[in-house]
Amino acid sequence: EAQVTQNPRYLITVTGKKLTVTCSQNMNHEYMSWYRQDPGLGLRQIYYSMNVEVTDKGDVPEGYKVSRKEKRNFPLILESPSPNQTSLYFCASRTVSGDTQYFGPGTRLTVL
């Protein structure tokens, strides 16, 4: 089944404790991205990647890092999480020439 998977689905952590949210897709998509969803703000892009080893900032990149060492994986790294990063995070992918993004199930992160 074609899908985007994220792990973990739920995470509660404390300020300053490094964490990684994994994202993997099995559709051989070149383009991958991370969004965060906050009430009243919709979804905003954090980072995106056009292909392996090619990443760039989205609209709200502060406090986040990403890497794209393999085509299928696009982890989101929070080196020192803060409470304002409490949010619902979505990973998405599509072909580089495609128009439709496929979303993962989401990761609900709480930073205390």
Size of the site for another protein (CB under 8 A): 26
Gap between the Cα atoms of 59 and 35, Å rounded:
9
Residue 110 sits in the site that holds another protein (CB under 8 A):
no
Task: Considering only residues 47 through 66, tell me which ones interact with another protein, judged by CB under 8 A.
Answer: 48, 50, 56, 58-59
Of 71, 110, 79, 106, the residue nearest 92 (C-alpha): 106
> For residues 86 and 29, is the Cβ–Cβ distance under 8 A?
no
The structure tokens listed for 21 are: 């949210």
> For residues 51 and 105, is the Cβ–Cβ distance under 8 A?
no
Residue 41 sits in the site that holds another protein (CB under 8 A):
yes
- One-letter amino acid at 96 equals V
Choice between 45 and 73, CB closer to another protein = 45
- Out of 7, 13, 67, 101, the only residue in the binding site for another protein (CB under 8 A) is 101
Interface contacts to another protein, rule CB under 8 A: 4, 31, 33, 35, 40-45, 48, 50, 56, 58-59, 90, 92, 94, 96, 99-101, 103-106
